[in-house]
Amino acid sequence: MKSQILILGGTTEARLLPPAIPDAIASKYDIVTSFSGITKSPKIEAGQIRIGGFGGVEGLCNYITAHNVALIIDATHPFAKAMPKHAYEAAKITQCKLVRYLRPEWSEKTGDQWIYADNLDHAAMLLTQLGTHAFLALGSRDLASFREVTGLKLTARMIEKAPEENLPKDCNIIYARPPFHLNDEEALFSSQKIDILVTKNSGAQATKAKLEACRNLGIQVLMINRPTVQPGPVIASLDRMIIRLKEEFTL
């Protein structure tokens, strides 16, 4: 049985990585991208796909041992909490090598009006003191933190329908899938009279146009900071990730 390179997926970076791995490595190792099951119809252009959880730290340890995992590449979402922690703990227990593949954060530019929040609950608390119509550019699971927000109008954009119990009261819902374009974002925010945007600092290229639109229109942004990254090496680009793989496997 070949040793395995395990990619913990769920991001564009995870999707683009397998086909970029040099043949000299891919021919010697099984390249497996694992999805939690939240992602529907995951698509990758190379390697194998695994769907489902591992069963916590113990389950991941068992998987690492059973499949002779030589390297874990944690390419989960920047706001994933459980999986990065489980990967760090399992790698430490099994002595498996671990690399975090994490795209850069968005950074504030001239003309931006950003207010920072530590987490979703903190953002919900701050929002009650800001603006008259907030645009929640968040995941469907994130909306639960804003259920009790009052005093301003709320519009939320999401890819898929959220459970009814997660939705804030009297919240207008827009269903749309990225990428989003600057002209469309400006038209949407202007027509809806949005005066504050709430978003997590994902750093995603496909959704950054909303920040440019806010800059151009003078709209405040309530930016939710990323959680603390687990200790260990962090790589921010595909090029650097391939260099690291070549170094790791002595190409």
Is 49 inside any structural domain?
yes
Is 175 inside any structural domain?
yes
Of 120 and 36, the structure prediction assigns the larger pLDDT to: 120
Are 131 and 210 in a shared domain?
yes
Asked if 183 and 208 touch (Cβ cutoff 8 Å), the reply is no
Of 178 and 196, the structure prediction assigns the larger pLDDT to: 196
Question: Residue 9: its pLDDT value, please?
Answer: 93
Are 74 and 28 in a shared domain?
yes
Q: What is the pTM of this model?
A: 0.90
Question: 184: which residues sit within 8 A by CB, 6+ positions away?
Answer: 209
Question: Residue 164: its pLDDT value, please?
Answer: 82
Structural domain containing residue 158: 114-224
* CATH number of the domain encompassing residue 18: 3.40.50.720
**Which amino acid would we find at residue 139?**
G
Checking if the pLDDT of 236 tops 80, the result is: yes
Is 77 inside any structural domain?
yes
**What proportion of the chain, given as a percentage, has pLDDT over 90?**
80
Question: Residue 198: its pLDDT value, please?
Answer: 98
Are 8 and 99 in a shared domain?
yes
Q: For residue 32, give the DSSP letter.
A: E
**Which amino acid would we find at residue 7?**
I
CA 4 to CA 21: how far, in whole Å?
13
Are 69 and 167 in a shared domain?
no
pLDDT digits (tens, 9 = 90+) for 2-49: 899 999 998 999 999 999 999 999 999 999 999 986 555 567 777 899
CA angle, 158 as apex, 157 and 160 as ends, to 5°?
150
Is 109 inside any structural domain?
no
Are 7 and 63 in a shared domain?
yes
* CATH number of the domain encompassing residue 146: 3.40.50
Question: Residue 202: its pLDDT value, please?
Answer: 94
Question: Residue 8: its pLDDT value, please?
Answer: 97
Are 63 and 27 in a shared domain?
yes
pLDDT digits (tens, 9 = 90+) for 130-173: 999 999 999 888 999 999 898 999 999 988 887 888 888 889 99
**Which amino acid would we find at residue 194?**
I
Are 217 and 123 in a shared domain?
yes
Backbone angles phi and psi of 41, in degrees to 5: 50, 60
Question: Residue 161: its pLDDT value, please?
Answer: 81
Number of domains in the chain: 2
Tell me what the mean pLDDT of segment 65-79 comes to: 97
CA 15 to CA 232: how far, in whole Å?
22
